[in-house]
A and B are shown apart, each in its own frame.
Chain A
Amino acid sequence: MQFMLLFSRQGKLRLQKWYVALSDTQKKKISREVIQIVLARKPKMCSFLEWRDLKIVYKRYASLYFCCAVEDQENELITLEIIHRYVELLDKYFGSVCELDIIFNFEKAYYILDEFILGGEAQETSKKNVLKAIEQADMLQEEAETPRSVLEEIGLT
């Protein structure tokens, strides 16, 4: 996978993950272009499109578009299911997820994505395992939270 973009129906970017090294200007140009093309597609059209030498696979969930760019010879359907599994993960984690969850907790969405896909390849496809890893990190986070904030209040940090 080359990159993944999440954007709203209005074309606002909600999440972007790049698995290839590109400059900021290139990234901006590409995401603008891709968002434009995908938003222009009609609902009944197929979820794949050829773009430059890549394939764009996208799916709309409520007001949010999930969009992946994969290599030309990649299996488009399985990419579609990767998107779906990611949505399932978000759903399970946030408890029926909506766009706002992702806006306000985008870093969480990134953590989940990083547990699911690493370096552009599916890392762990078991839903349970991904969420377990996230929960473990979250738990540690909460533990660390309390004593640290006390210390900070005293001004020890």
Chain B
Amino acid sequence: MSDVVEKTLTALPGLFDSQTGAAKITNRLRQLVKSITELTSKHEEENLIKQELCAMKEQVSSPNTSMKQMREIMVRAMYCEMLGYDASFTYIHAIKLAQQGGVLEKRVGYLAVSLFLNEGHELLLLLVNTVLKDLQSTNLIEACMALTVVAQVFPKDMIPAVLPLVEDKLSHPKEIIRRKAVLALYKFYLIAPNQVQHIHGKFRKALSDRDPGVMASSLHIYLQLIRESPDSYKDLTGSFVTILKQVLGGKLPVDFNYHSVPAPWLQIQLLRILSLLGKEDQSTSELMYEVLDESLRRAEMNHNITYAILYECVKAVYTIHPKVELLEKAARCIGNFVLSPKINLKYLGLKALTYVVQHDAKLALQHQMTIIECLDHSDFTIKRETLELLFRITNAQNVTVIVEKMLDFLRGCNDEHTIIHLVGKVSELAEKFAPDNSWFIQTMNCVFSIGGDLLQQDVPNNFLRLLAEGSESKEEDDQLRLYAVESYLTVLKGHTSHLPQCFLQVMSWVLGEYAHLQGSVDRREVIRLLTQLLDQRSVSSETRVWILSALTKIPEGQTDLILDLAERLASSQDTVLRQQAQELQHLSQDSQLHEWVLPRGAPWDAIEVDSSLSFLDGFVSEALAAGAAPYKPPHQRQEELCEDRALNLEPYSFSLPVSLSSCSITDRQSPTLLSVSSGLSGNSTELSQKAGSSTLILEGVKRVWGKDGYLPQKEATAPLVDEPSAAVQPPVQQEAAERTEPRPELSTRNQDKQQLASSLFVGLGVGSSVSLLGKSEAPPPRFRKKPRPHESSSSSGTSEKSSDSSCRSSHNTTDSFLYGSFLEEEPATSKSAFDHTPKSTTANGLSQNKDTKEDKHTNTSQIFGGDMVIVRPSTIQDKHPPSESSDLTALLPADLKDLPHSDVISLTSDPSLSLSSCRLFRDEALLLLIFISNCTETVIKDIAVQLTCEELKTASLRGNIVDCLEARSTSVCHYALLMDDPHTNVSFTGTVSYQTQPGHTNTLPFSGTLSTADFIRPLVLTTEEYGKLWLSLSHDVKQNLKLLTDAGDPLRTTLNALKDALQLHVVDIIGSEGIVACRLLSSAPCLLHCRVSGAALVMWLRSPHPALPDCILYHCQRALAHR
């Protein structure tokens, strides 16, 4: 190709003559370009452009400038911008040009807009009307231009305005319009998925469009949709397979061929979709074996494009449910890549290998010589990809060689991203496979000194944690610690000025904590080394704090040195350091105090922190007795402040009546109640009882110092390791290498390589089982780690995959519970409550639900005896077997029984434990109750629940740690969930760890999904207040919804349906309009204004929170669609 394109600058004069037609328009541009090329310095260019821009500025503001001239100016402005100069004064004119010009000007105007402005630019709002007009134009070109600009830059908030028009275009007679419309919708889907929710059906029509271009465009949307939820589209597998078959069979017009390969882009898109659909799904996978086989077979031509398809095919074969025959073929294909002399193909081959060795590490063996050659390749990209591959095949036997290769690479690398990435991998491998202490510490030293302060914080954190927590054997731990101390002392004796801060911090912590293990070294020496660091200028103040803490920990005895130091620091500029110096001074003089504050060798688990601050109870009651006002949380103070104010000056806030009773309900969980209730009773003895019965239960709740994920249990199950541990002797290895890579004469260099090969690929022997088909035994990692909250970075392929799948499958079940039970059950209970009076006097519309809920409770609790009193809600030792999950509602703590709640849903179970959850809707939070039921006849000990959700704020209220759960009993664990930013759906995950026998810890993962609807609360206000609030809000979203016309009063029916699905409050219905209000928990309100227009309901939403209307709209659409 390049020879066709090849042309040199000598063609310049000829070019001017040959293109006179076009030259007319761009004459000025030509002059500009020409004069720029004649310039010699950057400075001259700057001056010239400055002049040019000045002239342009004058021209655009002159009223005499014609549209045609404007067009020409715009082209020059684009050119100047490309050169990097600011021509922002033309932006508005670009929009004008698109607005007012003829087709010709429009084309330039739209192009300039798409180049100048990006999605968020405010000027784009001015374009909306133009786009609307052009979308309706009968001129094909104008419509095309409008769609093109819509698919490139369009303000998210304005999507509803053009959406109906774009939707209409899906059935336009011209395929080019349909194609562009599909891509515009794809773009909308990416930036605002909720808004196109209702047109999914039309995507199917696009998929079966008679024009291949339109069909291919719709695949972009499907790929995205299927990536998000593959299960919803399994029924389309057949269609995708048929399309791929037709493409392969050459049924498409020849135009779509690319270098005589039929529609390669389409093929690749389809292969990606199929691999997503077939992943972990045998029956779906079976549908596609045949076509994948054909794909592999057909891609035989030696051209980049066939390799691109092959690569995608191989990936698909290894992603879907395995079929041996196909796997073999795919593995052979990889050979073609890896052995290719073309470097691009080699790269892709390595990438493919990296992917497949996660499924079958043995595959790397066949290509070991190539891999070793790539390892020494001069191209950085190839080297890095090779290391990535090696990382995947690392096991306990080859770890030292591989890590060394990685560190070598890192030493010569100066790209920040690469360093961060690889250093993380090295530390991961070191923790997992370290053969001995010294190697581990040395490697980590390298990691810290190379990675330095670029390191992600969790690398040093994990390392220190590993040292601190240790394993089962104290002796081994101490050896490791001792080695670390020795190694650091050596490091510190050398040059320290170049060491990264993070390494210094790690060293000082370790020395402070474990220097005492080292008997032979003088304590004075340690202190001297650390003090030396303090004198260095390069040491940051944060590191100084670490060093001082270390010095504080080193026991007394060297008072003179310490006092000396403390004195010097006492005059430091840094207040933190001064403070620490003070502490140091006091502690070093009082050995008893030192022992008390910093106990030597205290086990980590023993440090208990009373997070409830119960030790202050006495202080609080004393203060109350002395007449102090009871504590009020900030939000309550705020609300009361609003009430007191005679004139409400803030348009945004609106006062809600706060009754004391509602306070006490809402504040049950916080220590506040202590003071509130005692303030009422004035009796401190009663206070403690009360606290014991209904609020803070401190006994039995083990609080442990550390992150909320840190649990005292030891993990018995080793981290999943994929690599088969085979004991293959190096000779056999060598033989295998020679077989695949026959070399007649082995030079010494080759011998070196052979040797390297045998050390790199040891442990991947032929005799080792294939992890895909058989179970492989994981070698025990050297350092056993306790469960970490974020193990997601875990490297081993299968563990990633399996956790992935478990996540997904449980996700599905919860999905169905959400849309099945939640949308159906919830309304059933709340319907009657809302039907009475829309305007209620209570602060929260939900409390009306009490009546119905209580009915339900009495029913269920009669089973247990109606007057059952639950004294200790956190661990309910109930005699009745909690086999029926619905019975569990009876176990709701007394103080929560009055709250509206969802049904109890089973989360997960194993032979010993079963977990179910129930959602309770409190005004300011969603309570998630997790019922942990012991299904066995024996006692289960040390149960610890851990819940994480990225999008929500979660707080464990109580019961997340249970020391001991009797046979056949159930304990309740409370979580409060807060949603600050609306998300349509959020999923939470968590684990329960427990011990059935001492020393044997099991973990049971669980997950679930919550929808925004769980966090929506009705907002009760009058029509007047609504009006005021409406005017004060700005973000709005408009959308047409389906109107339920099956009843006499369609508006009322529809609103009631929405009210039932989401807990909305219908403020008023006037004629054909209705106003509805709700809020996200107790924060951002959202106002909905609905108007009947023909057969549709025009809904207009406003909220101070920009994303909230979208979410609510999504659920409204869902609710109406499911009717």
Contact = CB atoms under 8 A, between A and B. Distances in A.
B822 interface: no
Contacts of B2: 60-62
Nearest to B69: A152
A107 B108 contact: yes
Interface string A52-63: 110000001111
A18 B118 CA distance: 9
Contacts of A47: 344
Given A110-B111, A110-B115, A141-B104, A80 B344 contact: yes
A127 B5 CA distance: 17
Interface string B151-183: 110000000000000000000000010011001
Interface string A87-102: 1100100001111110
Contacts of A28: 84
A148 B33 contact: no
The interface centre, meaning the residue of A17, A21, A23, A91 with most chain B CB atoms within 10 A of its CB, is A21
Nearest to B381: A49
A60 B3 CA distance: 12
A36 interface: no
Interface in B1040-1086: none
Given A46-B381, A53-B417, A125 B75 contact: no
B22 A105 contact: yes
Contacts of A48: 344, 347, 381
Interface stretch (B256-264, B932-940, B1094-1102): B256-264
Given A78-B308, A87-B1, A137-B107, A124 B213 contact: yes
Nearest to A46: B343
Given A123-B217, A140-B103, A52 B152 contact: no
Interface in A41-75: 42, 44-53, 60-63, 75
A81 B258 contact: yes
Contacts of A105: 19, 22, 26
Contacts of B26: 104-105
Interface string A114-126: 1000110111111
A84 B1 contact: yes
B459 to A, nearest CB: 18
A157 B152 contact: no
A21 B418 CA distance: 25
Nearest to B256: A126
A61 B258 contact: no
B344 A46 contact: yes
A103 interface: yes
A145 B21 CA distance: 11
A94 to B, nearest CB: 9
Interface residue range, chain B? 35 or more
Contacts of B253: 126
Contact of A118 (B1, B183, B255, B308): B183
B104 A148 contact: yes
A21 B154 CA distance: 11
B148 A125 contact: no
A61 B141 CA distance: 32
B66 interface: yes
Interface residues of A, number: 77
B11 A49 contact: no
B843 to A, nearest CB: 42
A33 to B, nearest CB: 11
B6 interface: yes
Contacts of B378: 42, 45
B78 interface: yes
A22 B119 CA distance: 9
Interface in B17-49: 19, 22, 26, 29-30, 33
B144 interface: yes
B104 to A, nearest CB: 5
B978 interface: no
Contacts of B871: none
A34 interface: no
A144 B103 contact: yes
A77 interface: yes
Contacts of B305: 77-78, 81
Given A140-B103, A144-B103, A157-B66, A123 B381 contact: no
Given A114-B148, A137-B107, A104 B33 contact: yes
B384 interface: yes
Contact of A45 (B141, B216, B343): B343
A24 B7 CA distance: 33
A85 to B, nearest CB: 7
A32 to B, nearest CB: 9
21 contacts: A14-B82, A17-B115, A45-B378, A49-B381, A76-B348, A77-B345, A80-B304, A80-B344, A87-B1, A91-B1, A96-B5, A98-B6, A104-B19, A104-B26, A105-B26, A118-B151, A119-B151, A123-B180, A136-B141, A144-B104, A157-B66
Nearest to B272: A75
A157 B220 CA distance: 43
A45 B104 contact: no
Contacts of B151: 118-119
Interface string B67-94: 1100000010011001110100000000
A152 B343 contact: no
Contact of B311 (A77, A85, A101): A77
A74 B255 CA distance: 25
A16 interface: yes
Interface in B43-70: 66-68
A13 interface: yes
Given A53-B417, A118-B183, A123-B179, A75 B268 contact: yes
B44 to A, nearest CB: 15
A68 to B, nearest CB: 14
* 8 closest residue pairs by CB, A with B: A98-B7, A77-B308, A126-B255, A21-B118, A46-B343, A78-B308, A21-B119, A45-B379
B12 A118 contact: no
Given A15-B82, A77-B344, A126-B255, 8 more contacts: A46-B382, A47-B344, A50-B418, A77-B304, A78-B265, A97-B7, A148-B68, A148-B104
B118 A22 contact: yes
B176 A133 contact: yes
B578 interface: no
B158 to A, nearest CB: 15
A156 to B, nearest CB: 10
B307 A125 contact: no
B249 interface: no
B597 interface: no
Contacts of A129: 176, 213, 255
B111 A107 contact: yes
Given A47-B344, A126-B256, A96 B75 contact: no
Contacts of B12: 100
Nearest to A125: B265
B839 interface: no
A108 B150 CA distance: 19
B1086 to A, nearest CB: 26
B557 interface: no
Contacts of B399: none
B258 A98 contact: no
A16 B114 CA distance: 11
B819 interface: no
B706 to A, nearest CB: 31
Contacts of A21: 118-120
B4 interface: yes
B241 interface: no
Nearest to B75: A107
Contacts of A106: 78-79, 82
A140 to B, nearest CB: 5
A82 B344 CA distance: 15
Contacts of B67: 152, 157
Contacts of A63: 8
B450 interface: no
B307 A96 contact: no
B102 A118 contact: no
Interface in B282-327: 304-305, 307-308, 311-312
